[in-house]
Amino acid sequence: MSFVRAIAGRYVAGETPEEALVVVKELNKKGFSATLDILGEHTKTAEAAVAITDQYAGLYEEIKKQGLDCNLSIKPTHIGLDIGENCVSENLMKLLKKAAKTDNFLRIDMEDSTLTDQTIELWNHCQMDYLKVGIVFQAYLYRTENDLKNLIKNSGANFRLCKGIYQESPDIAIQGRRKINSNFLKLLRFAFEYKIYVGIATHDLEILGNSYAMIAELNIPSNMFEFQVLYGVPMSGWLEKHLENGYKVRIYVPYGKDWYEYSMRRLKENPNIAGYILKDLFRR
């Protein structure tokens, strides 16, 4: 447990909103934008879903009060999707109202493939009320190409492109880094060519190199994309390089009591991290 806590220290911005907002302030000072995520998913009761929604709503107020450059990322199942459409819709509407009041943006994260259709529907529904709301598409899903085609007629669409983190069957999802990377770049090109605002969310240096080449080749203005990374993932100087080039960098900052599960997920993604933590512990 204490070992995982050491890992959490790297990837999680504390357990409380106050701690997370301090981290956001520090990131802003360095020139980075942020998006806050309260850790957790698959909330079991309507009361708990409302409590999470209220915590998110409170974050919008604090962000505004402190003048931070930070939006919010939410998971539909965290604010009630498993409980029912009414529950999640009501909570989303509450958040959109608060986002509008504080002139901020809401990102709807994408969960596993059983929820893709519902998540897109929720997003479409949200856009009828408030335009500053975005979605996430996963490059490993075969369907994503079609989902992006539907965005062509959706002026003002804003999506985050990531590889996808869930275990999905080969029937619906591309397997293997090489092929996923190639689809990621194909989808990115599509977004650029159709002038759809895209958050390029990856730590993969090969994709970053190729994105730079594509931006130059297609002469994409820097207000049509941003780079996004998870808080704590080492990026070999790329974040500073993005800033030097005048590109926006948004850091996904998770916080909350569910740090154990999140840190275990990061550890599975990159077991080398265990080595770095051990080295740090011995250095101390």
CB of 32 to ligand FDA, least distance (A): 12
Question: Which residues are designated catalytic?
Answer: 109, 160
What is the rounded distance in angstroms from the CA atom of residue 234 to the CA atom of residue 202? 12
138 scored as a contact of ligand FDA (CB under 6 A): yes
Binding of residue 70 to ligand FDA (CB under 6 A):
no
Chain centre distance of CA 246: 21
Cβ neighbors of 223 (< 8 A, separation 6 or more) are none
Contacting ligand FDA (CB under 6 A), which of 270, 275, 278, 279? Answer: 270
Instruction: Please select the residue that binds ligand FDA; options are 83, 136, 200, 249, rule is CB under 6 A.
Output: 136
Window 186-215: residues binding ligand FDA (CB under 6 A) = 201-204
Look at residue 275 and give its three-state secondary structure.
helix
Q: Is 177 in the site for ligand FDA (CB under 6 A)?
A: yes
Using CB under 6 A as the binding rule, whether residue 24 contacts ligand FDA is answered as: no
Beta-carbon count within 10 A of 182 CB: 15
DSSP state of 222: G
Among positions 63, 80, 109, 192, the unique one binding ligand FDA when judged by CB under 6 A: 109
Q: Which is nearer to ligand FDA, 40 or 164 (CB)?
A: 164
263: left (phi over 0), alpha (psi -120 to 50) or beta: alpha
Q: Which residues contact 165 (CB under 8 A, 6 or more apart)?
A: 265, 269
Residues in the site for ligand FDA, rule: CB under 6 A? 109-110, 136, 138, 160, 162-166, 177, 201-204, 228-230, 233, 252, 266, 269-270, 273
